[in-house]
Structure 1
């Protein structure tokens, strides 16, 4: 079984290249057959809401909405509990398939044997 990739993206529209890189790496890993768990934290938390990824623009980059949909289809997307609460986002607000979970779940994922964590 390939290693699992756990990616925490902390950037959003405030750092578009770093944000897009996290989503691009997640999608590339999935296409390569690597299991992926993508965590939306900090300013990337907004992308858990319907339509927000479509608003993101970065020249010469794949549309963020397409990358997010690819991860939702073949991997796991998690919105940080505290990040959601600070932004007034609830489970009823998020895109279907996005779960809300906190630090204990993140720690559990990154401590699995064979897991590789990346933070953007």
Structure 2
């Protein structure tokens, strides 16, 4: 059984169901005691900014801001370096607790035995 789950979410408001699924799985995993690392890439990069998750709406889905808060509290949230740069997002812009890191860090997180990775 995996002891760590790494989730890379590439979708944002452009694909709300896929985006919500990623955040829901991350939130449920944290609540279940799984070590979670949530990576924000592509259009999901915007959720690293204050207030953006609260603006997200999808009928019958858990509130995105609550899911993000739970992952920040019990896991780790990382914003892709290149995705941040493409959107002119810097470390001073992001929610407290969100780190900015690149592919090398992602690979180091998914390579150990017992780690499972999901991409949405």
TM-score by length of 2: 0.98
Encode CA deviations 1:7-57: one digit per residue, 9 max, x unaligned: 000000000000000000001111111100000000000000000001000
**How far apart are residue 3 of structure 1 and its match?**
1.6
List gaps (5 residues or longer) in structure 2.
none
**How far apart are residue 113 of structure 1 and its match?**
1.6
Contact 2:27–2:70, Cα closer than 8 Å, also in 1: yes
Match of 1:31 in 2: 31
Contact 2:47–2:53, Cα closer than 8 Å, also in 1: yes
Match of 1:16 in 2: 16
Match of 2:106 in 1: 106
Contact 2:45–2:80, Cα closer than 8 Å, also in 1: yes
Distance 2:52 2:86 in 1: 17
Aligned length: 120
Q: What is the DSSP-based 3-state SS (H/G/I as helix, E as strand, rest coil) of the residue aligned with 1:94?
A: coil
Distance 1:66 1:112 in 2: 29
Contact 2:2–2:116, Cα closer than 8 Å, also in 1: no
List gaps (5 residues or longer) in structure 1.
none
2:78 corresponds to 1:78: yes
**How far apart are residue 2 of structure 1 and its match?**
5.0
